[in-house]
A and B are shown apart, each in its own frame.
Chain A
Amino acid sequence: MTAALIAALVTGAALFGVGLYGALSQTNLVMIMMGVELILAGALVNLAAFWRFLHPGAYAGQMFVLIVMTVMALEMAVGFGVATARFRAKGSVEMEEAGELKG
């Protein structure tokens, strides 16, 4: 039984690692968002696994998963809003060309 939990957590960790790599290595805003989505997906897997295998009576765990899904949708909405604005203004959503956004 613990094996199932570990399998899920390992998946979560791997998704987190892949997502982190993607978010850091990609030059394009949309691709970076994909990396962030994968990181959040890793979190989702972990949360669901914790709920199922450790506290199936506490529905706040499932609630948490719902909230993370909401955050994913939020990230998409805001990200695409920003991407559209950037693209309109600069014709590019490449990070290499967003130098003026540096502090």
Chain B
Amino acid sequence: MHAQTFFIAFFGLAAVWFGVAVFRTSSMVRSALALLFSQTAIGAMFLAMQTEFLGVLQIMMMATEMSIMAIFMVMYMMDPGGLGAMEMTHQKRFSIAAGAIGGGAALAVAVLTPWGPVVAQAPAAAQQTRALGLELLGRSMLVFETAGVTILTAMIAATAVAVRRREGKAAR
């Protein structure tokens, strides 16, 4: 069981390290891929926590998601290669303070709360997948369907916002 703690901590550190790297590099593609590897490390943490389905899902989804993010960064940023080492931050002191306070508060809660007894054994992976499937199509079906419909709506809405307006209706 020490191995589990070790791997959780290891991948956790990796996730945070890559997370910090996101805002420390000036190359946008590096930034997006750092976020990807941060999310991949989180997926690996899931695997270390024996939530196999979620871990693999996280690893899969984020690869595509962050790559798409990378291309949008390259499209919409002035200096995606980071050659100019542009300053792209504002209200830095306030942000650091907010980040530190927010993170510190969460940390305090994490450390100080008496979490009670911890369950040693997780269900087997195959059993989990099966149970999650039953949950999805049973008790949580409404939530699941709502999420599905919401993402469809968001896709349509985002596309509608992004496509060019017709001539004549163009705002500017």
Contacts and interface: CB of A to CB of B under 8 A. Distances in A.
Q: Do chains A and B touch in the complex (CB under 8 A)?
A: yes
Contacts of B136: 63, 66
Contact of B54 (A10, A26, A42, A65): A65
Contacts of B28: 30
Contact of A11 (B45, B54, B151, B162): B45
Interface in B104-132: 104, 106-107, 109-111, 115-116, 118-123, 128, 131-132
A69 B131 CA distance: 19
Contact of B107 (A14, A65, A96): A14
Nearest to B43: A44
A15 B101 CA distance: 13
A12 B110 contact: yes
B8 A76 contact: no
Contacts of A63: 132, 135-136, 140, 143-144
Nearest to A88: B164
A98 interface: no
B61 A8 contact: no
Contacts of A6: 110-111
B72 A54 contact: no
Interface in A16-41: 16-22, 24-31, 33-35, 37-38, 41
A78 B76 contact: no
Given A52-B122, A63-B144, A67-B143, A44 B1 contact: no
A18 B12 contact: no
Interface of A: 1-22, 24-31, 33-35, 37-38, 41-42, 44-45, 48-49, 51-57, 59-60, 62-63, 65-67, 69-70, 72-74, 76-78, 80-85, 87-89, 93, 95-96
Given A17-B99, A73-B151, 5 more contacts: A4-B49, A14-B107, A30-B76, A33-B69, A85-B161
